[in-house]
Amino acid sequence: MNWTLGNYWYLFLLLLLPLFGILIFRYIKWKNERQNLFAETRFQKELFTKSSRFSKILPLLYLLAGLFLILSIVDFISGTEEIKSKQNVNNVIFLLDVSNSMNAQDIEPSRLAEAKNLMIQSLKKMQNDKVGIVVFAGDATSIMPLTKDFDAASTYIDGIETSVMPTQGTDFLKAMQVASEKFKNIPKGSRKIILISDGEDNEGNDENALKLAKKEGISIISVGVGSEEGAPVPEYIFGQLMGYKLDGNGATVISKRQTEALKDLAENTGGSFIDGNNLDNATSAIKTALEKSASSSESIVTSQNAVHYYQYTLGISIFFFSLIFLLNPKRDFNI
């Protein structure tokens, strides 16, 4: 029988037992007092029917019958049971680079499109994890809090473009600061970041970002998108291609993936670097990396399939009531 917090209040029925016992005792006492008022003790044997030996244990039988009846009622009504289970869970923030260099098309259709596909496909392989999303360029902002609503997360991801961040550039430190703030209620050691970027930090803050991650107990899985040969950076206005980014001398800027910077962030925080240019391999590697570093969490699951034993306690109750009915049909309580 299941004695869990969910059905403790049913056990208040057990308080009826001492009340019932008091009533029986008071009745017997009242009956004896009435007999003593009616006749002296020496005449009572001739005036009243002699009580059977069985009647002396009747109060106990009534209490036992009532006890098992209440236990059967409690077990019958409580249709759930609580099961403790341990699950491997992660608190994961996707840190997505939305700087203009992510529009480069050395990975078709673009680095950003590949990054968004990586996030959506990774979500499909997550089960018990909580995920949040932070986008960054020259500044950073959170666009989704930690949640288990993966459908909502996919909707957020679909709408991400480089234009969501008006301040361009790439600043890993500001991204890490926003992620750290989102992790403030999460224990250190359970904080995971999946950083998807081409690795270019225009502000030179990658070392400071690394220091902050180590201080906050954040493990980084860095996913590099783009080729090391690089590609020109398209410039769009209202979704229309207007040309390619030029440097101060009027030459076309070639954006290259900075693999070493991404590896450094991962290896120094207990994470791992993943090549994001192959979608299937990358999502499998992300799943493996998360499972390797997942923390164990104990949760209580309420099940509707509780095991009941009320048949047995009800049977015992019926047995005691049957004894009372068959062996003492007059309901004699004299003792």
* Residue 195, domain CATH: 3.40.50.410
Same domain, 106 and 73: no
297 DSSP 8-state letter: E
Query: Do both 161 and 33 map to the same domain?
Result: no
What is the reported pLDDT for 59? 72
Return the bridge partners of 88, or none: 296
Q: Rounded to whole angstroms, how far apart are CA atoms 320 and 313?
A: 11
The pLDDT, as a whole number, for residue 50 is 52
Q: What percent of the chain has pLDDT over 70?
A: 77
Q: How far, in Å, CA of 213 to CA of 193, rounded?
A: 9
Report the pLDDT averaged over residues 196-222. 90
Residue 162 and residue 238 share a domain: yes
Instruction: Evaluate whether residue 151 is within a structural domain.
Output: yes
Q: Are residues 309 and 275 in the same domain?
A: no
- Same domain? For 243 and 279 the reply is yes
Identify whether the C-beta of residue 133 lies closer than 8 Å to the C-beta of residue 175. no
Domain tally, the chain: 2
Q: How confident is the model at residue 305 (pLDDT cuts 50, 70, 90)?
A: low
Helix (H, G, I), strand (E, B) or coil at 217: coil
Give me the domain span that covers residue 288.
Answer: 86-299
Say yes or no to pLDDT of 239 above 70.
Answer: yes
User: 71-118 pLDDT, tens per residue?
Assistant: 777 776 665 555 555 556 789 999 999 999 999 999 999 999 999 999
**Strand 254-255 with 130-136, pairing:** unpaired
Query: Is 247 in the same domain as 201?
Result: yes
Q: pLDDT, tens digit, for every residue of 11-29?
A: 666 677 777 778 777 777 7
Q: Are both 50 and 99 inside the same structural domain?
A: no
Global pTM value? 0.65
**In a domain? residue 334:** no
286 shares its domain with 323: no
Quick one: 114 and 246 in the same domain?
yes
Are 184 and 250 part of one and the same domain?
A: yes
Task: Give me the pLDDT at residue 315, please.
Answer: 87
Is 168 in the same domain as 316? no
Q: Evaluate whether residue 74 is within a structural domain.
A: yes
- 239 or 43: whose pLDDT is higher? 239
Long-range contacts of 207-210 (CB under 8 A, 24+ apart): 208/173, 209/172, 209/173, 209/175, 209/176, 209/265, 210/264, 210/265, 210/268, 210/269
Q: What average pLDDT does the structure give for the chain?
A: 81
The mean pLDDT value for 202-220 works out to 90
- Give the pLDDT band (50/70/90) at residue 9: low
- Residue 19 lies inside a defined structural domain of this protein: yes
In a domain, 318, yes or no: yes
Q: What pLDDT, on a 0 to 100 scale, did the predictor assign at position 13?
A: 67
Within a domain: 333: no
Q: Which two tokens stand for residue 289?
A: 């990396």
101 and 242, same domain (yes or no): yes
Q: Give dist(CA 307, CA 279) in Å, integer.
A: 46
Q: Is residue 332 part of a domain?
A: no
DSSP labels, 72-103: HHHHHH---EEEEEEEEE-EEEEEEE-SGGGG
Structural domain includes residue 95:
yes
The mean pLDDT value for 165-175 works out to: 90
* pLDDT of res. 74: 73
Select the more confidently predicted residue: 47 or 251. 251
3-state secondary structure of 296: strand
| 295: confidence class by pLDDT, cuts 50, 70, 90 | low
